Each structure stands twice: as structure tokens, then as C-alpha cells.
């Protein structure tokens, strides 16, 4: 018999920790959505049927200290900020924010980002961008006013953040958030 496979050990431990610390039990679908290094959009689409992406905001701004740290660029460097919500019909499913340093995008990618209606996974696919994802944090957080309004609830939120790495540099930092009652029955 072979040695133990510890391929995803850190993520399992992380999920177990968050469950234990908060005295919660996550559903299988929640666990998958929090730990997968694949496309969440594709999973939601397969589970729910056609889902829709709504861009809440998309703009460029100069990175402050916190944002610069997230994507490992100097303070003041221009980043693309995107805020989207994926939903099925009128039901919001997942809220996502992304920060993308402009210096790491070629013109074609920038053009797609500005169009604001293309999911990031699809942008990567369209432009044949080879990458890897590193999940940084998985946690429970209290919703701010914006999340309360978007989801129509003040319950706790499940969240994760991760980076997409291309050419050994962070191409994108992404945070995904959904209410803790979502994806418990599917």
C-alpha cells in the first residue's frame, strides 16, 4: 500500500477548522465551492442551469497599500477592480470581487476586462492563459451593508480568497462570498 495522499490536506484542515471554530457543518456543495481550484461558474452552471453574471462595478484605480499587497505590486500601480454577482434568475448566488494589476495584462485581456461582461475564467480560456490557483483563506464573515442588500439577508457569509498565478506572478486576486444558507440542499 502506498503512502498517504495529502494532495489537499491543507484545505481539508482549513475547512475542518472553520467548521469547528464556528460550530457549523458545511454541505458537500459548500465545501466544494470553497476548496475547488477549478471554475466555480462552471459548477454553478451545471448544478442550476443557465446562470447570469451581473457586473456591479468595474473601474481602474491606483493600488493603496492593502490592494498592492494582495496582488504584490508597488503602491500606486493601476489595477482593474471588478465586482460581480452570479445569479440564477432573480436569486443572487455568489458575489465576487477581483483585483487585476494592469501591468500584467496584455491589451486583449484588458479589452475584455473593460467590456465587463465576460467571466474571468472565460477570459483566461479565450486567451489560452496558462495559470494555477492558490487558495489563500477560507472563512466566515459578517455581511456589510452592500452584501445585506444584494442577498437580502443579514446572515453570516462564507468566503474565500485566492490568487490566479501566471508567469510566476499574481495575475488576479479574487474573493468570493455567499450566505451560509446557500448551497445547503444541492
154 is a contact residue toward another protein (CB under 8 A):
no
Residue 130 backbone zone (phi > 0: left; psi -120 to 50: alpha; other: beta): beta
Residue 173 and residue 136: Cα distance in Å, rounded? Answer: 10
Q: Which one, 55 or 103, has the nearer CB to another protein?
A: 55
Residue 72 and residue 50: Cα distance in Å, rounded? Answer: 35
23 is a contact residue toward another protein (CB under 8 A):
no
Q: Which one, 55 or 181, has the nearer CB to another protein?
A: 55
**Residue from 20, 24, 69, 125 in contact with another protein (CB under 8 A):** 125
Cell matching residue 122: 472565460
Q: Which one, 9 or 69, has the nearer CB to another protein?
A: 9
Q: Which one, 16 or 76, has the nearer CB to another protein?
A: 16
DSSP string, 24-72: ----HHHHHHHH-SS-HHHHHHHHHSS-EEEEEEEEEEE--HHHHHHHT
Binding mask 30-59 for another protein (x = CB under 8 A): -xx--xxxxx-xxx-xxx-xxxxxxxxxx-
CB 157 within 8 A of CB 141: yes
Select from 69-77, 92-100, 103-111, 162-170 the region that touches another protein (CB under 8 A). Answer: 162-170
Cell matching residue 140: 466566515
63 is a contact residue toward another protein (CB under 8 A):
no
Closest CA to 172 of 180, 184, 164: 164
Q: Which one, 69 or 115, has the nearer CB to another protein?
A: 115
Residues that bind another protein (CB under 8 A): 1-9, 11-12, 15, 28-29, 31-32, 35-39, 41-43, 45-47, 49-58, 86, 116-119, 122, 124-125, 128-132, 165-168, 186
Amino acid at each position: 500500500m502506498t503512502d498517504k495522499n495529502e494532495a489537499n490536506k491543507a484545505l481539508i484542515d482549513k475547512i475542518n477548522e472553520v467548521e469547528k471554530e464556528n460550530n457549523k457543518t458545511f454541505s458537500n456543495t459548500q465545501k466544494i465551492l470553497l476548496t475547488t481550484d477549478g471554475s466555480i461558474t462552471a459548477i454553478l452552471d451545471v448544478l442550476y442551469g443557465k446562470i447570469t453574471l451581473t457586473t456591479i462595478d468595474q473601474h481602474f484605480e491606483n493600488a493603496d497599500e492593502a490592494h498592492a499587497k494582495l496582488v504584490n505590486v508597488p503602491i500606486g500601480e493601476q489595477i482593474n477592480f471588478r465586482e460581480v454577482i452570479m445569479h440564477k434568475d432573480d436569486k443572487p448566488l455568489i458575489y465576487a470581487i477581483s483585483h487585476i494589476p494592469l501591468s500584467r495584462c496584455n491589451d486583449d485581456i484588458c479589452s475584455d476586462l473593460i467590456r465587463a461582461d465576460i467571466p474571468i475564467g472565460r477570459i483566461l480560456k479565450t486567451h489560452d492563459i496558462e495559470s494555477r490557483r492558490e487558495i489563500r483563506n477560507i472563512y466566515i464573515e459578517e455581511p456589510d451593508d452592500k452584501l445585506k442588500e444584494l442577498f437580502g439577508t443579514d446572515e453570516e457569509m462564507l468566503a474565500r480568497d485566492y490568487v490566479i498565478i501566471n508567469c510566476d506572478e499574481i495575475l488576479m486576486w479574487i474573493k468570493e462570498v455567499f450566505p451560509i444558507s446557500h448551497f445547503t440542499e444541492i
